[in-house]
């Protein structure tokens, strides 16, 4: 008996009151919220720091390198040696900075994006291939380097997060739009447009117009203004006019003012892009309000709330935990030891004193005490139901045994009488009818033996000496009505020990009868046997309608189950097979046949098999199949 303590008076008496007290400051929820806020704040600071590093080491240098490559491409196609040398110098300077950033990133590049290392390697290769490209400059060669630069920028887009910069994906689209304008400038650099260059030019115009306006609309408001000044200016209008003329006529119009206009447009776009991306990221403060914001306040307040909640929860929850543990231990004791032991005694036929096993408690105390009382009531109800069921099963088993014994006596007398009549009868038709009655009587004897088997009693039939496997199979087939539908294939020349013959014959007869009953009368049932390394495998295959997966699973469960429910009136034959299988240590399994029917596999272990065949001088124990029916 639990002795009340003085502190019990200060605690709430009901479970509801205790739960309400705990929920006043829910420690788990507050800790989760505080942890989330702390992780979020630390993650924001880390992301901002990492973004600034990536921006300074890779993103900004790659952007500068792409811009310089675009300028070198235009100078190369314009055919201006001085301008081309200046552009090469600028590109080489930017390439050196890019290589330094790539080497600095090293193995950490894979942590930013899985595809980034391969893209950096490709860009690094491009910087080394510039010398070869300059010996024979091509539009496609420079454009491929630009594409590789954008591939690196795209991989870095997810690694750079800054509250001050616009979305990286939007900036990437704007960069591609600027590349389209740069391609237009390069294609018209010599003032001509060949037929092969017309399609790339028109494609660049289409890409530029498709990407530019929607992307500008997605920028932050403070960054959108710089783009609007470029797009609404006269220089961009000049560029669009030339683009429209080329698209409409297919010929290059007058390019007066084109170079200056497109150069200023590209410069304006590059500046606006830098201000919205790399420049804004570089100015970001990882410890500023934009990074920490309300999450920093939540971290401080959450820590105070967690500490206060812990204090209150420990004081209030301590007593509740002790009571819950007592209730849990009692329930586990009932479910894990006392109730299973009582059930085993009931199944063994022993009596159980319900009042001693589960004494009834008075319904007093708080809700936890009432739960304990309810558990005791459940235990008593389970014991009472199990006791009544055991008594019912014991009565049913006794009825089975009594009926089976009486039926066996009459059936044996009937079979003896039929055997005598068969020996005296000479008329073929009457003799055929007697054989049919003999079949029915044999089936009735088997059903009577099934009652004894289900009751746990061994039938009266038995053999001391080994019996040939062929005779065992024939005996099983002879115990069913449609024996002519069963085809027995060649069997191994082995025998079974006499002690298991009766059970094996009965088990096979049950399965063969099921096969003939659930298959069309015009089909045959095949009975095969094979001698394996560790026993005999017998298969019974029918060509019936088969069983679905659920039905097969249920049937195999009944065959393999350790317990047989005598109150289940369906498929009694499977329960008989279960008892016989368990008694002789056989393995039985049903599975689907390739022909659509069912295959019943029976495995007889090696210790029940004899390799020697019975001979004629061994007497009654070596009787042929006809003798097994007697």
Residues 308 and 446 in one domain: yes
The verdict on residue 34 lying in a domain is no
What value does the mean pLDDT take over residues 207-212? 87
Backbone dihedral region of 17: left (phi > 0), alpha (psi from -120 to 50 degrees) or beta?
A: alpha
The verdict on residue 598 lying in a domain is yes
What gap in Å lies between CA 146 and CA 140, rounded to an integer? Answer: 10
Angle between helices 139-156 and 168-187 (to 10 degrees): 170
More confident site: 2 or 298: 298
Q: Which of 65-79, 96-110, 415-429 has the lowest mean pLDDT?
A: 415-429
Q: Is the pLDDT of residue 623 over 60?
A: no
Residues 380 and 263 in one domain: no
- Which of 462, 456, 565, 558 lies closest to 510, judged by CA? 558
What value does the mean pLDDT take over residues 407-414? 64
Task: Using CB atoms within 10 Å of the CB of residue 602, give its burial: 0 to 12 exposed, 13 to 18 middle, 19+ buried.
Answer: buried
CATH no. for residue 551? Answer: 3.30.565.10
Residues 338 and 447 in one domain: yes
Q: Measured on CA atoms in the order 409, 410, 413, 415, is the torsion positive or negative?
A: negative
What gap in Å lies between CA 620 and CA 462, rounded to an integer? Answer: 11
What pLDDT band is residue 627 in, cutting at 50, 70 and 90? very low
Q: What is the number of alpha carbons within 13 Å of residue 110 lying toward its C-beta?
A: 3
pLDDT of residue 609: 92
**pLDDT digits 0-9 by tens, 589-603:** 999 988 888 999 999
* Domain end call among 257, 284, 311: 284
**pLDDT digits 0-9 by tens, 227-259:** 888 888 888 888 888 888 888 888 888 888 888
Between CA 134 and CA 144, with CA 140 as vertex, the angle to 5 degrees is: 90
Residues 111 and 189 in one domain: no
Q: What is the number of alpha carbons within 13 Å of residue 258 lying toward its C-beta?
A: 22
Distances (CA, A) of 349 to 194, 341, 422, 579: 104, 13, 46, 19
Q: Is the pLDDT of residue 27 over 50?
A: yes
* Domain end call among 125, 159, 193: 159
Yes or no: say if 152 and 123 are a contact pair by the CB < 8 Å rule. Answer: yes
CATH no. for residue 252? Answer: 1.20.120
At CB < 8 A and 24+ separation, what contacts does 372-377 make? 372/327, 372/330, 375/327, 375/330, 375/331, 375/334
Residues 499 and 600 in one domain: yes
Q: Is the pLDDT of residue 17 over 80?
A: no
pLDDT of residue 489: 92
- CB count within 10 Å of CB 626 equals 12
Mean pLDDT estimate for the chain: 77
Cross-strand partners of 590: 600
Helix residue ranges per DSSP H, 157-288: 168-187, 195-217, 221-231, 234-249, 258-276, 278-283
Phi, psi of 46 (to 5 degrees): -65, -40
What value does the mean pLDDT take over residues 519-525? 90
What pLDDT band is residue 618 in, cutting at 50, 70 and 90? very low
Q: Which of 98-107, 203-212, 513-522 has the lowest mean pLDDT?
A: 98-107
What gap in Å lies between CA 201 and CA 184, rounded to an integer? Answer: 6
- CB count within 10 Å of CB 258 equals 20
The verdict on residue 495 lying in a domain is yes
Q: Is the pLDDT of residue 15 over 60?
A: no
What value does the mean pLDDT take over residues 273-296? 62
The verdict on residue 194 lying in a domain is yes
**pLDDT digits 0-9 by tens, 128-171:** 888 888 888 888 888 888 888 888 887 777 666 666 677 778 88
What gap in Å lies between CA 316 and CA 11, rounded to an integer? Answer: 7
3-state SS, residue 172:
helix
**pLDDT digits 0-9 by tens, 340-392:** 767 666 665 566 666 666 676 665 566 666 677 777 777 677 767 666 666 66
- What's the domain range around 147? 56-159
Q: Measured on CA atoms in the order 367, 373, 379, 385, is the torsion positive or negative?
A: negative
What pLDDT band is residue 95 in, cutting at 50, 70 and 90? confident
What pLDDT band is residue 469 in, cutting at 50, 70 and 90? very high
- Which of 51, 494, 510 lies closest to 283, judged by CA? 51
Residues 297 and 446 in one domain: yes
pLDDT of residue 103: 83
Phi, psi of 151 (to 5 degrees): -65, -40
What pLDDT band is residue 87 in, cutting at 50, 70 and 90? confident
Distances (CA, A) of 31 to 22, 25, 37, 324, 500: 14, 10, 10, 23, 68
| Beta-sheet pairing, 535-541 with 525-532 | antiparallel
Residues 155 and 168 in one domain: no
Yes or no: say if 302 and 30 are a contact pair by the CB < 8 Å rule. Answer: yes
Tokens 């590209």 found at: 266
pLDDT of residue 564: 65
| Beta-sheet pairing, 598-605 with 587-592 | antiparallel
Q: Is the pLDDT of residue 620 over 50?
A: no
What pLDDT band is residue 285 in, cutting at 50, 70 and 90? low
Between CA 338 and CA 345, with CA 339 as vertex, the angle to 5 degrees is: 90
The verdict on residue 232 lying in a domain is yes
More confident site: 21 or 490: 490
Residues 196 and 318 in one domain: no
What gap in Å lies between CA 115 and CA 64, rounded to an integer? Answer: 22
The verdict on residue 443 lying in a domain is yes
At CB < 8 A and 24+ separation, what contacts does 130-137 make? 130/88, 130/91, 130/92, 130/95, 134/76, 134/88, 137/73, 137/76, 137/77
Between CA 542 and CA 547, with CA 545 as vertex, the angle to 5 degrees is: 90
Which tokens is 106 given?
A: 């090293």
* Domain end call among 234, 257, 284: 284
Residues 72 and 99 in one domain: yes
Residues 469 and 560 in one domain: yes
Residues 446 and 364 in one domain: yes
- Which of 349, 331, 461 lies closest to 395, judged by CA? 349
Residues 294 and 403 in one domain: yes
What value does the mean pLDDT take over residues 604-616? 82
Count of structural domains, the chain: 4
- Percent of the chain beyond pLDDT 90? 10
Question: DSSP letter at 218?
Answer: T
What value does the mean pLDDT take over residues 64-92? 87
What gap in Å lies between CA 207 and CA 209, rounded to an integer? Answer: 6
Distances (CA, A) of 114 to 108, 395, 399: 10, 73, 76
Q: Which of 46-50, 168-172, 221-225 has the lowest mean pLDDT?
A: 46-50
- What contacts 569, CB < 8 A, 6 or more positions away? none
The verdict on residue 581 lying in a domain is yes
The verdict on residue 8 lying in a domain is no
pLDDT of residue 629: 34
């Amino acid at each position: 008996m639990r002795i009340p303590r003085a502190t019990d008076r200060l605690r709430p008496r009901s479970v509801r009151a205790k739960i309400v007290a705990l929920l006043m400051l829910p420690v788990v929820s507050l800790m989760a919220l505080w942890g989330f806020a702390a992780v979020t704040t630390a993650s924001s600071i880390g992301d901002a720091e990492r973004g600034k590093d990536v921006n300074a080491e890779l993103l900004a240098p790659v952007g500068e390198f792409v811009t310089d490559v675009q300028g070198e491409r235009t100078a190369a196609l314009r055919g201006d040696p001085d301008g081309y040398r200046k552009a090469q110098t600028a590109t080489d300077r930017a390439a050196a900075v890019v290589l330094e950033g790539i080497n600095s990133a090293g193995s950490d590049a894979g942590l930013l994006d899985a595809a980034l290392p391969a893209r950096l390697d490709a860009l690094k290769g491009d910087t080394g291939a510039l010398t070869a490209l300059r010996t024979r400059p091509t539009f496609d060669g420079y454009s491929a380097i630009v594409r590789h630069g954008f591939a690196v920028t795209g991989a870095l887009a997810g690694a750079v997060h800054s509250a001050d910069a616009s979305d990286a994906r939007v900036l990437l689209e704007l960069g591609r739009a600027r590349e389209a304008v740069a391609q237009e400038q390069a294609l018209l650099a010599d003032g001509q447009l060949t037929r092969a260059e017309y399609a790339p030019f028109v494609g660049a115009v289409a890409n530029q117009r498709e990407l530019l306006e929607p992307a500008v609309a997605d920028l932050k408001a403070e960054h959108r203004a710089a783009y609007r000044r470029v797009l609404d200016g006269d220089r961009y209008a000049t560029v669009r006019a030339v683009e429209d003329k080329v698209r409409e006529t297919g010929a290059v119009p007058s390019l007066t003012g084109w170079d200056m206009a497109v150069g200023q447009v590209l410069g304006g776009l590059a500046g606006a892009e830098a201000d919205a991306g790399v420049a804004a990221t570089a100015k970001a403060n990882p410890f500023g309000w934009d990074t920490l914001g309300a999450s920093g306040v939540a971290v401080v307040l959450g820590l105070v709330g967690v500490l206060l909640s812990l204090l209150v929860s420990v004081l209030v929850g301590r007593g509740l935990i002790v009571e819950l543990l007592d209730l849990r231990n009692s329930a586990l004791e009932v479910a894990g030891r006392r109730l299973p032991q009582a059930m085993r005694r009931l199944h063994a036929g022993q009596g159980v004193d319900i009042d001693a096993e589960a004494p009834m408690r008075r319904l007093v105390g708080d809700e936890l005490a009432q739960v304990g009382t309810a558990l005791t009531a459940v235990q008593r109800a389970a014991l009472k139901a199990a006791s009544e069921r055991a008594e019912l099963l014991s009565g049913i088993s006794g009825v089975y045994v009594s009926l089976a014994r009486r039926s066996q006596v009459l059936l044996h007398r009937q079979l003896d009488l039929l055997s005598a009549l068969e020996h005296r009868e000479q008329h073929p038709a009457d003799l055929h009818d007697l054989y049919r009655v003999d079949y029915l009587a044999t089936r009735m004897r088997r059903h009577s033996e099934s009652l004894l088997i289900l009751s746990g009693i061994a039938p009266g039939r038995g053999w001391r000496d080994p019996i040939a496997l062929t005779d065992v199979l024939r005996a099983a087939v002879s115990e069913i009505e449609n024996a002519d539908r069963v085809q027995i294939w060649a069997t191994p020349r082995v025998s079974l020990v006499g002690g298991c013959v009766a059970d094996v014959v009965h088990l096979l007869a049950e399965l063969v009868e099921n096969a003939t009953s659930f298959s069309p009368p015009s089909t045959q049932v095949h009975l095969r046997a094979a001698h394996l390394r560790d026993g005999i495998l017998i298969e019974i295959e029918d060509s019936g309608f088969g069983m679905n997966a659920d039905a097969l699973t249920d049937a195999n469960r009944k065959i393999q189950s350790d317990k047989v429910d005598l109150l289940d009136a369906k498929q009694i034959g499977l329960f008989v097979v279960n008892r016989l299988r368990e008694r002789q240590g056989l393995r039985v399994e049903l599975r689907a046949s390739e022909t659509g029917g069912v295959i019943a596999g029976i495995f007889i272990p090696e210790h029940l098999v004899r390799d020697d065949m019975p001979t004629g001088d061994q007497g009654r124990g070596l009787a042929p199949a006809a003798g097994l029916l007697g």
